[in-house]
Chains A and B, each alone.
Chain A
Amino acid sequence: MRLSRSLSITSLSGLPLFEEESLPVEDLLLFEVAWEVTNKVGGIYTVIQTKAKITVDEWGENYFMMGPYYEHNFKTQVEKCEPPNQAIRAAMDSLINNGCQVHFGRWLIEGSPYVILFDIGAAAWNLDRWKGDLWSACGIGLPYHDREANDSLILGSLVAWFFKELTDQLQDKLNVVAHFHEWQAGTGLVLSRSRNLPLATIFTTHATLLGRYLCAGNADFYNNLDKFDIDREAGERQIYHRYCLERAAVHCAHVFTTVSQITAVEADHMLHRNPDVVTPNGLNVRKFSAMHEFQNLHSMNKSKIQEFVRGHFYGHLDFNLEKTLFFFIAGRYEFSNKGADLFLESLSRLNYLLRVHKSDVTVVVFFIMPAKTNNFNVESLKGQAVRKQLWDTAQSVKEKFGKKLYESLLRGEIPDMSKILDRDDFTIMKRAIYATQRHSLPPVTTHNMLDDSTDPILGNIRRIGLFNGRNDRVKIVFHPEFLSSTSPLLPMDYEEFVRGCHLGVFPSYYEPWGYTPGECTVMGIPSVTTNLSGFGCFMEEHVSDPSEYGIYIVDRRFRSADESCNQLTQFMFSFCQKSRRQRIIQRNRTERLSDLLDWRYLGRFYMHARHLALSRSFPEKFRPEHLNLTSTQGFRYPRPSSVPPSPSASIHSTPHHSDEEDDDTYDEEEEAERDRLNIKAPFSVGADTDGKRTQPVENGN
């Protein structure tokens, strides 16, 4: 996804440039192995796809991605070509001449990286022998019934075989770095190490296998992290063999990385190794040529959402759309892990606060989480039809009125207003108004749910009683399908929708990284995240007072569920109290954080991981780097904790100030200074790793 942002005078262009001694990439080959290379399964696809450009920019033709071959993917995403390197050609030929199929090409994404894809099916006849090899090397067996595990072994065996042939060809001419993502590719790492191949190996887990299972089933995962008997837990869930493959890869890698501080904590307990490097996930950020274009896009797309709201809430439009805020939560339907449970409870508290404060602000909350449905419900479609009919009626009457006005003026007369519209026109308008009468409340969900009675979101909505009643200031729209620009209901794609909203709310309990708040940030949309999400940890570390920059971090790690819920409620309530101008200023600040999330900066951590792996596997040629000595920058003058909090909100005792009287000012220079004080460059990679190696140094060739 290519997210765009505007060029701002106070853009964070002042961030320090790279100071690292760059690797001699012309003497190296870099391979990145993942099940999701050209094969979209989940979020890892986004990571490796968006990271490809910066890696190609650095490594050029010495960078190759490896994954499984699927004919459809190859035909639609890859341009077949010949390998530029003779050793790679020879290694591929060696596999091909022994009955396997290997395909080479350029992946048609930004950066156009080379890909080497292995046909799993064509090599399946080796499975029993390779199971024997895995058993001999590690003492790990794979169940017959686990197709995914067996496929990962085939891929891993092919990859290890390829590296064997490649390193034999290369001898000492080029050193090889091999980066493996997740347990599905990790088997290749284990087999390569068991054969003592001269590779610098990196293993990245984006979320531990067991952690995700435990979070789904255990409500208090983080407080019990140190108490789990992990072999037993994996065994009882019948994922023991996968868990062993993952831990074996972690144990064997020269360098182990994960995507955030919170997953580092998880990995320490679930995999018994502390990550050497945290490698946050980035995005590709393109700058707009027009200043503040993102604010214009916000305005345009907000109008589209308002149109939907006019239709959905027809007959109940007694709230001011100009005083309505759009909040949303989006992602895979994981009710607890995504924090939808906390969010719903918090919304009921927000509704209460807005009502007792007699606020004129209305919040429409969208849940964009795919679930099983059998199409739109009639009520939602009717709403949009009624809105369109009203529009057509208004246009028709307007046209007739204009025509008569014109004719009257031509005759030199001021028209008689009581006669300019005839009786038929009033009849048409009255009939249109009667059509907006409604005996039911606006529907909470836009589709007919297959599991209506058991759906956890709907169940909780029933419990908290938010049914879009007139007196409720919080309205809910559950859209159980991904957005589409061709939808008859809400014709917007995801990016347009996000840009039109005011606040993204992602109070995740289990979120190894969290792309959704990052995407909001790049679009200049404030968002709520937690300190249990990688993105939240990253922002907490790099931005002092993140709320000012539109990043609200709920503490779900050290607070009880009720306290977290209250904190989230307060964040949303304080957001509701912002004036329009204050929201505009905040969006500017949010958007300036985009640079922090750009792969151009975050790719730095991957570079460090590669360097570290090379220094451990080929210590004579590569020295450990001492990055921490040169580039660490602490915060300067963070907000003192002794500053008294702002007065809490109170019921207005005087008429509300208009926007024109708002005393907020926007001074570009002041904003730039604010950024310098509050934002820490993401170049610190933690403690000096020299002398703290957890792996024995392998003898280099």
Chain B
Amino acid sequence: MAADQAFVTLATNDSYARGAMVLGKSLKNHKTSKKLVVLIGPHVSDQSRAVLHNIYDEVRLVDVLDSGDAAHLAMMKRPDLGVTFTKLHCWTLTHYSKCVFMDADTLVVSNIDELFDREELSAAPDPGWPDCFNSGVFVFCPSNETYGKLLQYCTQHGSFDGGDQGVLNGFFSDWATADITKHLPFIYNMSSIAIYTYLPAFKQYGANAKVVHFLGQMKPWSYTYNPSQRRLKGDMQGSLDPSFLLEWWALYSGEVVPLLMGDYGDQPFYSGCEEDVAESTHVQPIMSSAERKQKWEQGQADYMGIDSFDNIQKKLDVFLK
């Protein structure tokens, strides 16, 4: 029955698309027998889509605002849950009998096909409130009926945390008490938070990790990586143990960047790898212009990167010629 089961992830922009590329590669490298599906938002670039097609069996565009269906109607009532509605779309993949959803900021470090032996809704405890499950990794069965009920639940109850985790914990509200077999071991969704909340346990069990979840503001793609030295640059405070980050980057720079280069062709793009930055003639911003401006206004201009004065000078030269 392998043909009708799939891992599913979501990428709403090019940054998360890179995460999805690495996740897909890590699943394949660990010899998964399941299909790979990625849901993308309309803002993902053509080049990223091409690479995702290369890695994933199915790339599905989800544009909630562009549909006349129930999701759009629900969105009109709850516009704050925009990204959540996109994620809930995974329940419409009814050509699969069972799926495992994984956020794009996760990394698989061993084969996890055994997750498909679990029933809906199986997930690991959230480290912040263990009676809630973390929605970064969960087992579900696609169903239009369930999809409709989820939308209805959103319309009536909203989300207690403003995101999908609140919705799903509300909808599957008996997860904490009803069936212990639906509680996944923590090693299937090990977050970086574990390293500093219970360091001895991490030392004891961390080597058994199967899925690493890069929770928090800083994502792997927020750093800069030097492939020849296998070193990272950036604020490392949140990660006392960078080995998983380095594993992410080794996979990214070794297997994903070549695909990106193939699809970008002669166009320059920002890979995040130090050697490539030197070669490119133009740095394409990851953050939007509005996001960069906001960073300046918070006193956090990227003065060693995109906001260097050399780049400002290029902008000035446009009107000085």
Contacts and interface: CB of A to CB of B under 8 A. Distances in A.
Interface of A: 131, 135, 137-145, 190, 193-194, 196, 230-232, 234-235, 238, 240-241, 243-244, 247-248, 251-252, 695-696, 698
A139 B315 contact: yes
B236 to A, nearest CB: 18
A143 B298 contact: yes
Contacts of A143: 296-299
Measured as residues with beta carbon below 8 angstroms from the partner, the interface class of chain B is 20 to 34
Interface stretch (B42-50, B134-142, B165-173, B301-309): B301-309
> Top 4 nearest A-B pairs by Cβ distance?
A141-B296, A235-B303, A143-B299, A141-B293
Contact of B313 (A196, A243, A251): A251
A696 B307 CA distance: 24
Interface in B17-32: none
B309 A696 contact: no
A232 B303 contact: yes
Contact of A231 (B289, B292, B299, B304): B304
B319 interface: yes
A141 to B, nearest CB: 3
Given A135-B293, A138-B315, A241-B296, A231 B320 contact: no
Given A135-B289, A241-B299, 6 more contacts: A143-B297, A232-B303, A235-B301, A240-B307, A241-B296, A243-B309
Given A231-B304, A231-B308, A231-B309, A248 B297 contact: no
A325 B313 CA distance: 55
Contacts of B319: 137, 193-194, 196
A230 B320 CA distance: 23
Contacts of B308: 231
19 contacts: A135-B296, A137-B315, A137-B319, A138-B316, A139-B307, A139-B311, A139-B315, A142-B297, A143-B297, A143-B299, A144-B298, A193-B319, A193-B320, A231-B303, A235-B301, A240-B307, A241-B296, A241-B301, A251-B313
A135 B293 CA distance: 7
Contacts of A234: 303
B295 interface: yes
Interface in B187-238: none
B297 A144 contact: yes
Nearest to A143: B299
A135 B315 CA distance: 10
B304 A232 contact: yes
* Residue with the greatest number of chain A CB neighbours at <10 A, chosen from B308, B315, B316, B321: B316
A231 B306 CA distance: 12
A452 to B, nearest CB: 36
A696 B303 contact: no
* Residue with the greatest number of chain B CB neighbours at <10 A, chosen from A139, A140, A698: A139
Interface in B94-137: none
* Residue with the greatest number of chain A CB neighbours at <10 A, chosen from B292, B303, B304: B303
A428 B223 CA distance: 86
B312 interface: yes
Contacts of B312: 138-140, 244, 247-248
Contact of B320 (A141, A238, A252): A252
Nearest to B314: A139
A161 B7 CA distance: 58
B320 to A, nearest CB: 6
A193 B289 CA distance: 22
Nearest to A235: B303
* Residue with the greatest number of chain B CB neighbours at <10 A, chosen from A190, A235, A238: A235
Contacts of A252: 316, 320
Contacts of B304: 231-232, 235
A553 B1 CA distance: 91
Contacts of A243: 309
Contacts of B303: 231-232, 234-235, 240
A235 B299 CA distance: 9
Contacts of B295: 141
A696 to B, nearest CB: 6
A141 B294 CA distance: 8
A564 to B, nearest CB: 34
